[in-house]
């Protein structure tokens, strides 16, 4: 048997070191565990300060003893490599393990053991834990806001239908794959819009959207017959003219009638709320801010001075003001500049405001990607005879957008988490509903449960988005 040197554990006496080390680590964890879960201090006979640090010291010695390189045991090597590479890391690992063990019992007791979920009034919540009854009673409000209970199936049905339509991409056969982009970029948003416009609202809101969409569709169709030379001016002037004509000259009354579905009760947007409103606002803002940001980023690099300075102005303006002021302006100041009889729904204004605001950020993120591309890519595309749009659509943007997926995901996550700010204009999505509920005299004192509930929901949404963006990154990875 080789000589034991406890300062320098080596492979020769592997089992001795291993058993001693594991014993020490296990002992230290056991002491902390018993202390934390059963509230018994096994080492109280020691003087205060030593009893406080003893588990740490024991664990430290233990980890030192099992730190043997190339021991031949897979598990041990893995442990050493991951949490026990040197003294400092061992110390940190122990500290983290102890903190987890220490914090588990109070968390468990608050979330589960001492929590209440049965019953339907505040009186059942006598324990020291969370009062999930509160969430249960208010669940409908948190999900749908002030939307009438009897009509909530409309929201459910719309969301289920849209979720189902959103998954079509997974089932598309090879033959239809090439239409998927068109579907997701154009058709799907329009379907979503109509669901929300006709079905959830059931009334004549979102009118300006419908004028806008009609104007856009008509101008795109006519656009095919316009010679390329005038196309740029055409697409700036015609849609706006059409929009104004549609709104003030042609069938204004007819459209209002068209917008009403007699069978469905009209629910004004002020009554929408809760998580469903979070989804609606986030969804539309995501859809709108991306193309706007894309055009702003291209515009900023344009050779035409008007387009260039317009883009720079837009980007710097929206980046320079806080979102809360933008929202406030959109609801309070903006209507003052409109003609008397003109009315744009509050929700529409909010969606436009947030979209423009986030578009500025998206634009700068995309510009970062455009700048990262080597000049040779532009040269190669040009030398093959591609014009500006072909070059960008076929060569530059696919690469630049792939580069900035993480940045765009970042912006989108920020957008979703910014939606609670719409409370300043009186729209109450989930956090707004929480704030309302916690001031209800019958249910005072349950703010904590509400915020935990909202955090969990937001975490699920955001984590799903970030996972998705990571998947996209992997999917489009072609280098090496």
Which residues contact other proteins by CB under 8 A? 374, 376-377, 379-387, 390, 394-395, 398-399, 402, 476, 478-480
DSSP assigned state of 7 = T
How many angstroms from the chain centroid is the CA of residue 153? 25
* Of 107 and 394, CB closest to other proteins: 394
* Of 6 and 389, CB closest to other proteins: 389
Q: Is 429 helix (H, G, I), strand (E, B) or coil?
A: strand
- The encoded tokens of residue 469 equal 């963006």
Going by C-alpha positions, the residue among 158, 157, 155 that lies closest to residue 143 is 155
Dihedral sign, CA of 426, 430, 434, 440? Answer: positive
CB of 381 to other proteins, least distance (A): 8
* Of 246 and 381, CB closest to other proteins: 381
CB of 395 to other proteins, least distance (A): 6
CB of 397 to other proteins, least distance (A): 10
Q: Is 245 helix (H, G, I), strand (E, B) or coil?
A: helix
* Of 398 and 445, CB closest to other proteins: 398
CB of 304 to other proteins, least distance (A): 15
CA atoms within 13 A on the CB side of 50: 5
Q: Which residues contact 139 (CB under 8 A, 6 or more apart)?
A: none
Q: How far apart are CA 86 and CA 9, in angstroms?
A: 13
CB of 398 to other proteins, least distance (A): 5
Q: With residue 395 as reference, give the H or E element that holds it.
A: none
Classify each residue of 234-263 as buried b or exposed e, where b means 16 or more C-beta atoms within 10 Å of its C-beta. Answer: beeebbeebbeebbeeeeeeebeeebeeee
CB of 471 to other proteins, least distance (A): 17
Q: Which residues contact 387 (CB under 8 A, 6 or more apart)?
A: none
* Of 339 and 376, CB closest to other proteins: 376
* Of 291 and 387, CB closest to other proteins: 387
* Of 127 and 387, CB closest to other proteins: 387
CB of 229 to other proteins, least distance (A): 8
């Amino acid at each position: 048997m080789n000589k034991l040197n406890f300062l320098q554990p080596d492979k020769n006496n592997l089992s001795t070191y291993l058993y001693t080390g594991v014993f020490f680590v296990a002992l230290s964890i056991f002491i902390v565990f018993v202390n934390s879960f059963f509230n018994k201090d096994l080492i109280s006979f020691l003087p205060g300060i030593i009893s406080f640090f003893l588990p740490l010291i024991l664990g430290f010695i233990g980890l030192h003893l099992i730190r043997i390189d190339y021991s031949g045991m897979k598990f041990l090597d893995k442990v050493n490599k991951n949490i026990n590479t040197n003294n400092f890391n061992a110390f940190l690992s122990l500290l983290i393990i102890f903190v987890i063990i220490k914090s588990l019992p109070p968390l468990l007791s608050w979330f589960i053991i001492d929590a209440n979920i049965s019953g339907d009034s505040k009186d059942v919540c006598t324990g020291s834990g969370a009062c999930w009854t509160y969430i249960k009673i208010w669940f409908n409000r948190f999900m749908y806001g002030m939307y009438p209970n009897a009509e909530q199936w409309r929201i459910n049905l719309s969301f289920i239908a849209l979720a189902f339509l959103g998954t079509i991409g997974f089932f598309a056969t090879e033959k239809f794959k090439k239409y998927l982009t068109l579907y997701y970029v154009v058709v799907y948003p329009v379907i979503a819009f109509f669901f929300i416009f006709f079905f959830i609202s059931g009334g004549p809101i979102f009118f300006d959207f419908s004028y806008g969409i009609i104007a856009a569709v008509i101008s795109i169709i006519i656009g095919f017959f316009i010679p390329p030379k005038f196309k740029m001016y055409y697409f700036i002037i015609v849609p706006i003219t059409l929009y104004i004509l549609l709104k003030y000259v042609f069938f204004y009354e007819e459209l209002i009638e068209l917008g009403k579905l007699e069978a469905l009760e009209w629910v004004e947007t002020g009554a929408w709320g809760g998580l469903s409103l979070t989804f609606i606002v986030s969804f539309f803002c995501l859809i709108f801010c991306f193309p706007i940001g894309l055009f702003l980023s291209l515009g900023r690099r344009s050779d035409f001075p008007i387009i260039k300075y317009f883009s720079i102005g837009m980007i710097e303006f929206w980046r320079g003001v806080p979102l809360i002021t933008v929202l406030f302006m959109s609801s309070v100041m903006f209507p003052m500049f409109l003609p008397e009889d003109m009315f744009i729904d509050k929700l529409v204004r909010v969606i436009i405001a947030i979209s423009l605001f986030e578009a500025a950020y998206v634009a700068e993120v995309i510009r970062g990607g455009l700048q990262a591309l080597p000049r040779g890519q532009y040269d190669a595309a040009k030398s093959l005879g591609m014009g500006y749009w072909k070059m960008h659509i076929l060569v530059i943007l696919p690469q630049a957008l792939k580069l900035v997926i993480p940045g765009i995901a970042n912006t989108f996550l920020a957008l979703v988490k910014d939606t609670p700010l719409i409370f300043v204009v009186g729209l109450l999505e989930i956090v707004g509903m929480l704030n309302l509920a916690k001031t209800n005299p019958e249910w005072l004192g349950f703010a904590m449960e509400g915020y935990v509930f909202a955090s969990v929901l937001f975490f699920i949404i955001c984590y799903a988005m970030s996972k998705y963006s990571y998947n996209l990154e992997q999917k489009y990875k072609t280098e090496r």
